[in-house]
Every structure is written in structure tokens, then in C-alpha cells.
Chain A
């Protein structure tokens, strides 16, 4: 939730942009970016029972920048390889097929899918939050014996609507030389990122549980999700944990305990303590993926 004071000027700017975004999202021919070919194939491969390391390796090799990123992540202190990782195949072996497929998708989407010029730092923080949500999602899923791979992907992509809104704003006719204020953009995220994310997820044909999570991950919505994988509920709590960890939440560790989602997941104080104890591990992983 955004808690900020919007000045009258920003309010005016917001209203103009709000109308533009609302109009764009209301149109049938929404101009959203296409999913990069490599990301699309990585995503398909991640849910393919016949997928193996060699297939993923050859896919990632098609994108030099992506391959470089993967090697860098595999060599980072968070994953502390016993010997330096020098090949993609070795990196896949070290990081794991599922984790790597999700990250390859994420890295591929980050680099060049959306027009976010002028907001590089903020967009980086969005991805850091998304990644932290995915990683916390894995741990929540592990505790309640739900699907770990699915929870990671749901968390990673739950706010995909936010960069999509930035992408739409880049096409705004009122675009000035100066970037729009981030406070204004955050208020637009608040209002539109679910709709934008849902439309993008449908266009990109993301897996059904991921689409459902994008629609319903918020506190007052996850009850509407029907998938037995509970991706929306898991991501809701993971989102809060990531926000607390990254210092952009209205909650603290104590008030997290009172969240309805904590009760609905049947987490007792000791369960939450165990999850919060994973903060440094999650933070280290986020730092190495998105320094």
C-alpha cells in the first residue's frame, strides 16, 4: 500500500496519466510487449516433463547476455560454488533446473521487454521485490507441503503488471522530458497493476496458477483463488515478507502475525519466526541475482 502525500501538481499529473492508463487498459488492442522468444521457450520448458539440463542449456546459449548473467549468478557468494563455474551446463547443475528456468525467464523479461527508461533504479527494486517474493514463496510452500516450484514462479511474476504500466506510460502523449514522479507512478501501480498484469499474463499465456496469482494475490482477494496449489495465498504472505525484508512495508515483524493470510495459512508464531529467520538467506540470493 502506498502511503504518501500527493501534491496538487502531482495530483493533476496523476489524473492525466490515470485517464490514459485506464483508456489503454480498457481497449481491446492493448499495446503490451511480446514475450521474448527465449523467455517464452524457457517458460514452456520449465513446465515440460521432458525438459532436461541440456535442453535448457542450449536454449539459454541463444541469448548471450542471458548466458552471461546466469554464469555470474552461479559464481556469486550466495551460491558459493566449490570450484568456479565456467560453463552453462555446470551452472545449471549447480543452481538447479527449476530455479534456473524461473530466473532465466525473469532476467530475459527484465532486459529489454519493457520501456522503463528513466526508472532503472526503481524497476530494479521492483524486480528485487518480485524475486524476494518468489524465494519466500518457496519456503512457505515447503512448510505447508505445497508445490515449491509453482510458488516460486507465482511470486516472481505476481507484480508483472507494474513494469507493464511503465511500458504503457512510455507511450503517453503527455510524456515530458522529465520522468513522471515515482510517487505518481506508485499510485498508478496501486490502481492498475493487477489489471495490467492480468492482461499481460493472458497475452503471454502464463500458466493458469500464475495468472490466478496475479489477479488475486492481495490480502482482500486471495480467497477468490481456487487453484489447489494456493499460489495466491502463498504469494500474499511472501509479498508481505519481502516488503518487510526490503524495508518498504507498513508492517513490522510483530504486526505480520495479525495478518489474515497468516491465520489462513495456519501459521503459528513459531512458523513465522522460522520464516523470518530465512531473511538473510533470501537477501543474499536477491543480492547475487540483482546486485
Chain B
């Protein structure tokens, strides 16, 4: 018989989803226990995912801007700029963000436990500490937010030294001469474009004929063009046969077509798997799906009604932004609080170089739903701000109904896309007619002007 400490709410995992769930519970006046298996709060988002990759990306962009500026301002950068310099900055940003999150939890009076959580029953959780001892907590409501980790395919011997995954890629202390990136999803495309910009010879390999196939093709075409321009190569329609380090200086990737690719390092980014292995879900009666996800309803409730699951453990969209909202809404639902109107239009941000972002219907989806679509386009290099900033790539694509009157979707590729998208998101949320973008005034010169140009493009098609 164990003596468990009672709480009103237990949250397992302190990533974006778990953190927001815990804070929502605390703000509702509940006693909250937050369990995190690592010493730091924040989860993979802070330490291996979103924050590090975006910081590395920003550092790479800054470095390239400096290199470009050397010609204009006639100064010279040191030849031995190392990736460790970029990583040191990354370490500082990650530490600062981790501290901010920890302070936020403390401020809200949340009890943080360091240890691995495993269900004893559907109301009780065992917290195993690093020294082997354990404590127990119990609550009427439990939220599972344990996140995910990189998938390790059976046929690829990831050693984190020569063949890396998206966690160990951040441990590099020097830039490899060449890098083969396996996968065509968000993580693969983001790292491929960052390392290509840093001067690494990058080959991106995937089964799909183009990377990020879920995005509008005009966006990915623009991305591929920019990627190739920095020296990257995309090899689509390829299946991986084997990956082998030669024990010396290179990794050989054999494609099923028989072709071989040689590179100094390989990054394997072929999806992620949910972190369920320590949870002992059997004790709750929850049965994971065949894909290893926790099944939930639209309130993020599992089959055991007082246990909720949020974030990567429930599968797509696996965006930090959505996970946070899932955490908040799950706790609101559990506590019978009004969580507001469910978000209708969730933007998607891809931090490739250049950035891509999307909200609302795609051209194909609009055509399927309305029997047609009117598309307006604005290219960054045709906008004053784009010219000033020397932007050679960038496109805003506005989707309207067949009459060209109602805004249905926005798709952007180009620097600042993930910020720029929110104008379109607000337009969609307020059912904004296309003409509203024409009748109003934007700051000049700004990239926001692309909205007006794209709307004018649609208006022009109306007249024909």
C-alpha cells in the first residue's frame, strides 16, 4: 500500500502542451503536480526541437548576412567561424528559455516533480527518481503530455556520431563537408536548408516527388529553387535501401534503385514516435493505436474520461502552437470551464530557408469545395520592401472563391512568412472579403503590401 500525495490535477510532461495545461489548472485555483523526466522543464521543444533548430537557423542567417555585408562595408570575418560559436549562442538561448518557463511555473504555484511517471492506476502515478527511489501522486484529473522522439528505422544504424538523428545533429562541433538528409518532412527540410546555407553540401532524399508534399506546390517549388541555389539537392522518389558508415570517413547511403550517395554525415529525419514506454498505460486501460498514439476525442479525452492526452502523443498536427492550445482546452474541459471558441484556422509555420507558412484552404481544397478557385499572387521581389531587402525568393498566394470575392486561404514562402501569415489568419477569422485588402492602407514599404498586390491580382481576374 503506497501513500500517494493528493492533487487536483496531474500533468505528465512539461513541453508546450503540458506547461499550458498545468498553468490553466493553476489559474483555475487547482493544486497541480507537473512531472518531468528531465531536470529542466520545457521538453523536447526547448532542448532538441523548436527552440534549438530555430536558433541555429537564425544564427546561420545572421552569419550569411554578415558575410554578404563584408563586400558592402569592406570588412573581413574570421576564417575560422565555427559551428561551436553558433551552438554556444544556441545553448544560451535554450538556457534562458528554460529558466523563463521554470519561473512561470513557480509563479503559478505549480508543484514540479523531477522523475519518470508511470501509472499505478487510472488515478495514481508513480514518480521514479534518478536515484531509484519513488514517490506517488494521485488526482481526479490527469493530462498526458509526454511528447515524442525521433523514430529509429530498423534498417538504419543511428550511432549519433556519423549517422545522426534530429536530436544528435545539434551535437556537431564542426560543419561536415557533406550531409545526406533522409526524409522530406518539416524537420528534414528545415535542417537541410540550414546546413546548405552554412555551406555544407546537402542532399535531401525522400520517397515523395517533392519535399513537404502537404504544402502548396508553388511554395515547395520556390523552396526547392532556393535550396538548389545554396548548393542543396533534392532527390525525390527514392527509397532507402541501407545506410552504412564505412568505418573511416564517409557514410554510404544505398538507394533501392541501386544508386549510392556518399557523405560525411547522415541525418535521419523519418518521423517521430510518441513517448509512451514508461507510462505503463495498461494500468489505466487505455489502448494505444497501432501507430503508437493515444486515441482521443475532440476534447482530447482518452477512452478513460478523466485522463486527457495532448501534444505529440496524440499525433498530427504536432505543432507546438496547437499543442499549447490542446493543453489549455483539455484542462478547461476537465474542469468544466469555458474554453472559448475552438480555433478554426490554425496557421502552419515551416522554418525552412526561406520560411513557409499556410492558413486556410489550398487551391486544390478550394476547388474541391467550391468547384473552382481564384488565385492572386504577389512576389516579394516586385514589392518595394523586398527589393530593399534584396529578397530574390518570396511569394504570397491568396486563395479566393470562384467569384474572387471571399478570402479562403493564404500561402506564403519567403523570409518573414511565419509572421506575415497572421494578417491572412485574421482575415479568415473575420470572413474578410478580398476587397478589404484593396480598400485599406498598409505601411509602406512593408511585405504586408503583398496582401494588397495579391488582392488586386484577384480583382483583375474578376473583370474578365
Contacts and interface: CB of A to CB of B under 8 A. Distances in A.
Contacts of A147: 171-173
A279 interface: no
Contacts of A51: 249
A109 interface: no
A74 to B, nearest CB: 10
A62 B186 CA distance: 48
Contacts of B246: 93
B8 interface: no
B91 A142 contact: no
Interface in A124-152: 138, 141-142, 145-150
Contacts of B161: 98, 138, 142, 148-149
Dominant secondary structure at the B interface: loop
Contacts of A59: none
A264 B249 contact: no
A142 B130 CA distance: 19
A267 interface: yes
B158 to A, nearest CB: 10
- Of the four ranges (under 10, 10 to 19, 20 to 34, 35 or more), the interface on chain B belongs to 20 to 34
Interface string A48-59: 011111000000
B249 A148 contact: no
B174 A47 contact: yes
Interface residues of A, number: 34
Given A49-B177, A264-B39, A93 B247 contact: yes
A148 B132 contact: no
Nearest to B170: A145
A32 interface: no
Contact of A262 (B128, B130, B247): B130
B159 A49 contact: no
Interface string B163-179: 00101101111111100
Interface in A201-246: 209, 228-229
A145 B168 CA distance: 5
A234 to B, nearest CB: 11
Interface string B116-130: 100000000000101
Nearest to A264: B39
A149 B167 CA distance: 16
A231 B246 CA distance: 26
Given A49-B177, A258-B131, A263-B130, A141 B171 contact: yes
A53 B177 CA distance: 14
B456 to A, nearest CB: 49
Given A147-B171, A268-B128, A96 B160 contact: no
Interface in B307-357: none
B249 A53 contact: yes
Nearest to B158: A142
Interface string A28-55: 0000000000000000000101111100
B91 A228 contact: yes
Contacts of A53: 248-249
A147 B128 CA distance: 28
Contacts of B38: 266
B177 to A, nearest CB: 6
B48 interface: yes
A118 B165 CA distance: 48
A132 to B, nearest CB: 18
B88 interface: yes
B90 interface: yes
Nearest to B114: A266
A89 to B, nearest CB: 9
B208 interface: no
B87 interface: yes
Contacts of A268: 116, 128, 130, 132
Given A52-B249, A149-B161, A228-B90, A269 B132 contact: yes
B132 A257 contact: yes
5 contacts: A49-B175, A138-B161, A145-B167, A228-B88, A262-B131
8 closest residue pairs by CB, A with B: A228-B91, A148-B161, A147-B171, A145-B168, A145-B167, A93-B248, A269-B132, A142-B160
Given A147-B171, A148-B171, A149-B173, 10 more contacts: A51-B249, A142-B159, A142-B160, A145-B165, A145-B171, A228-B87, A263-B130, A267-B130, A269-B130, A269-B132
